[in-house]
Chains A and B, each alone.
Chain A
């Protein structure tokens, strides 16, 4: 959801476009002002490309809200002075929200989820959050889901009457002790500060589920919740192309199941496409605040400061749009999942909301591998 944000001193009324905690002048408390009724008060059409903005021409609009606060907004569509600017939410399976983070993760997460129709929740709603914290890595490395995104999501849930006792974060690591990854990623601080629960999936029970030619051992905890949020950090990946919505689901499987699938990369791709079928419905909240580009986590990829949040009700459209935004090569599992009817992979049938696709597209470093780096 496109919105202006200002941080205002309650005492002296000074305004900031950056989040601060106390006024430098009078030490007054700070309140947040969010503007959503936007109209176009300035614009230019830009014909000079640069790497983050390769598609020209594009427009830069100056939008003004109901409080007189302004912000720039990039569009491909033309607008006139005085036009209203609004994003139209779309709760369908074929929509993907893409929101730029303006310092405030809560507002970004809220905006993304509202664009896909929001959630239905009350004080009895049980929520499972599945981040990607399978490898130990500080949040700035783009290896783990950014704890600020998880904080933003929990704030959003609490604001929708969900009780903290009913919120659970769950993850497992197939490679290292989970305590290490939780600590290094900073997720443990989020768990403590909000008082939500944490479950190590590997220690919970699994049940066998069959889909196509595959038999999966799936964690039983997925059955205990009314709402599931799949919150991957968006990383390039040598095998899959990206670690997105699908890859993050693999850690709902037992290690035995995972190892079995990992033996044969071709089979792994085929099995991956079927994973959503053995799980209850979930919303994917793609954390591309700090993601990864290049060869990804296993082969010295590097952090990518994408500053984006993606949200979708279907994992296929989610990963397809990530592929398109970052101009990555075709993702075989997305193509296959699309053909199997798990979700829409035809770009012309996917509704990108919050920002126009062509206004987002940019090249990032592709996962192409290295002749020098040899993995065991």
Chain B
């Protein structure tokens, strides 16, 4: 299918509720597609319906029906932090002519402790949660394993990834850290969240929504690869903590569909929930050999002026991470870049792009390859 329009709210702290944020993103996407809602055949939405949120609102599909004043099919597909990518994958499979896809999260109504608790529910309930395995601690164990196995890579390299993404997000008006200067020193001096990861190695939780209009009618951006893979929920079950199998399988499948190889990709949006995840994903997607991902950041390959910019939007690190909206916000960035509408962060080579969205600690992964037509 083609991506005809995209829209997203500003990522940050919002006074609006989930359904209102979703509505705003959808309206912007429909405007962008120059399409009336009447033409939409179905809606695929994703949200986690946070337990601790003040919203106390379940049955989000019904809520969207109220907002859209419609009886059209609305399918909700939560998938942890991969909800947006998952929704896009489902929309692409449905066979309708026109599908509206939206992901939204409203989580800035809780203390950070509660958000940590909420994210922890994506960990295994008997083996991991009671043992204090949170999202940061899980990523930290992976990071330590990676740094032990590939001692050439250091925490300073991970800091470079965070710095790159903050430098990009500085120019994204919809990013949480828009116009906010973050120095390499700030990153290196930030407190430890879960050793060896610092607070600034972790993405930031925000409210936000992102949407896309998919059509069978030809448009200027086409989805040429779309894959969804799953893996065991608990990473301690993996043979190798430093490889997330769902990412490598998903990427391989997307490249096969697109009839492309990693070297054909011009720019990428990677799920940098933690800096270590971005680094490992360079390798798992196929942009670098195992243990050599560090070269991409050290050599500036993934910088905004590099051969293959990664996270021109600022990524989850600087743009912010409203879990179910994240995957679709990556599509928003890719479409804006391909249309030359990315403003101060516009890059020049935008023919092929890849979006990589992860749920849990590699439990669900989507890869989408988009082509400028």
Stretch in B57-65, B72-80, B119-127, B283-291 touching the partner: B119-127
Cβ-defined contact, A17 with B141, below 8 A: no
- The answer, yes or no, to whether B70 is at the interface (CB within 8 Å) is no
- For the A-B complex, the count of residue pairs with Cβ-Cβ distances under 8 Å equals 95
- The answer, yes or no, to whether A53 is at the interface (CB within 8 Å) is yes
Inter-chain CA distance A307–B130, complex, in Å, is 8
Stretch in B153-161, B190-198, B207-215, B261-269 touching the partner: B190-198
Stretch in A67-75, A109-117, A213-221 touching the partner: A67-75
Cβ-defined contact, B129 with A52, below 8 A: yes
- The answer, yes or no, to whether B247 is at the interface (CB within 8 Å) is no
- The listed residue (A50, A58, A62, A101) touching B141 by CB distance below 8 A is A62
Most buried by B among A58, A62, A102, A103: A62
Most buried by B among A49, A60, A74, A100: A60
Closest chain B residue to A68, Cβ basis: B239
A307 cross-chain contacts in B, Cβ below 8 A: 126, 130
Cβ-defined contact, B141 with A43, below 8 A: yes
A52 cross-chain contacts in B, Cβ below 8 A: 117, 120, 129-130, 132
Q: How far is the CB of A40 from chain B (nearest CB, A)?
A: 11
- The answer, yes or no, to whether B133 is at the interface (CB within 8 Å) is yes
Cβ-defined contact, A17 with B127, below 8 A: yes
Q: How far is the CB of A329 from chain B (nearest CB, A)?
A: 22
Cβ-defined contact, B144 with A44, below 8 A: yes
Cβ-defined contact, A72 with B192, below 8 A: no
Cβ-defined contact, B191 with A50, below 8 A: no
- The listed residue (B114, B193, B236) touching A71 by CB distance below 8 A is B236
Inter-chain CA distance A359–B133, complex, in Å, is 12
Cβ-defined contact, A45 with B195, below 8 A: yes
B192 cross-chain contacts in A, Cβ below 8 A: 45, 47
Cβ-defined contact, A74 with B237, below 8 A: no
- The answer, yes or no, to whether A46 is at the interface (CB within 8 Å) is yes
Q: How far is the CB of A116 from chain B (nearest CB, A)?
A: 21
Q: How far is the CB of B337 from chain A (nearest CB, A)?
A: 34
- The answer, yes or no, to whether A48 is at the interface (CB within 8 Å) is yes
Cβ-defined contact, B131 with A74, below 8 A: yes
Cβ-defined contact, B134 with A46, below 8 A: yes
Cβ-defined contact, A101 with B127, below 8 A: no
- The answer, yes or no, to whether A376 is at the interface (CB within 8 Å) is no
Known A44-B137, A62-B141; contact A73-B131, beta-carbon cutoff 8 A: yes
Closest chain B residue to A55, Cβ basis: B132
Interface of A is mostly: strand
- The answer, yes or no, to whether B136 is at the interface (CB within 8 Å) is yes
- The answer, yes or no, to whether B369 is at the interface (CB within 8 Å) is no
Q: How far is the CB of A32 from chain B (nearest CB, A)?
A: 15
Cβ-defined contact, B191 with A72, below 8 A: no
How many chain A residues touch the partner (CB < 8 A)?
A: 29
- The answer, yes or no, to whether B241 is at the interface (CB within 8 Å) is yes
- The listed residue (B132, B134, B237) touching A70 by CB distance below 8 A is B237
Cβ-defined contact, B144 with A60, below 8 A: no
Q: How far is the CB of A26 from chain B (nearest CB, A)?
A: 19
A304-321 interface code vs B (CB 8 A; 1 in, 0 out) = 000100000000000000
Cβ-defined contact, A44 with B236, below 8 A: no
A44 cross-chain contacts in B, Cβ below 8 A: 137, 140-141, 144, 194-197
How many chain B residues touch the partner (CB < 8 A)?
A: 34
- The answer, yes or no, to whether A42 is at the interface (CB within 8 Å) is yes
Cβ-defined contact, B145 with A72, below 8 A: no
Known A17-B234, A51-B114; contact A46-B132, beta-carbon cutoff 8 A: yes
Known A17-B127, A70-B236, A102-B126; contact A48-B134, beta-carbon cutoff 8 A: yes
Q: Which of A58-89 contact B (CB under 8 A)?
A: 58, 60, 62, 70-74, 81
Known A43-B141, A60-B133; contact A72-B114, beta-carbon cutoff 8 A: no
Closest chain B residue to A53, Cβ basis: B132
Closest chain A residue to B128, Cβ basis: A72
Q: How far is the CB of A303 from chain B (nearest CB, A)?
A: 15
A24-52 interface code vs B (CB 8 A; 1 in, 0 out) = 00000000000000000011111111111
Cβ-defined contact, B126 with A50, below 8 A: no
- The listed residue (B131, B141, B193) touching A42 by CB distance below 8 A is B141
Inter-chain CA distance A102–B128, complex, in Å, is 10
Known A42-B241, A44-B140; contact A17-B124, beta-carbon cutoff 8 A: yes
A331-363 interface code vs B (CB 8 A; 1 in, 0 out) = 000000000000000000000000000010000
Cβ-defined contact, A47 with B191, below 8 A: yes
- The answer, yes or no, to whether B116 is at the interface (CB within 8 Å) is yes
Cβ-defined contact, A51 with B117, below 8 A: yes
A47 cross-chain contacts in B, Cβ below 8 A: 191-195
Closest chain B residue to A49, Cβ basis: B113
Q: How far is the CB of B283 from chain A (nearest CB, A)?
A: 19
Q: How far is the CB of A232 from chain B (nearest CB, A)?
A: 21
Inter-chain CA distance A359–B148, complex, in Å, is 27
Inter-chain CA distance A339–B133, complex, in Å, is 40
Inter-chain CA distance A47–B130, complex, in Å, is 16
Inter-chain CA distance A44–B141, complex, in Å, is 6
Q: A46-B137, A72-B131, A307-B126 are in contact. List 12 more A-B contacts (CB 8 A).
A: A17-B127, A43-B144, A44-B140, A46-B134, A48-B193, A48-B194, A49-B113, A49-B116, A50-B116, A50-B134, A52-B117, A100-B131
A-B contact pairs, 22 of them (CB 8 A): A17-B237, A42-B145, A44-B140, A44-B144, A44-B196, A44-B197, A45-B192, A47-B195, A48-B116, A50-B117, A53-B134, A62-B141, A62-B236, A70-B236, A71-B127, A71-B131, A72-B131, A73-B131, A74-B130, A74-B131, A102-B126, A359-B132
Which residues of A pack against B, CB within 8 Å? 17, 42-54, 58, 60, 62, 70-74, 81, 100-103, 307, 359
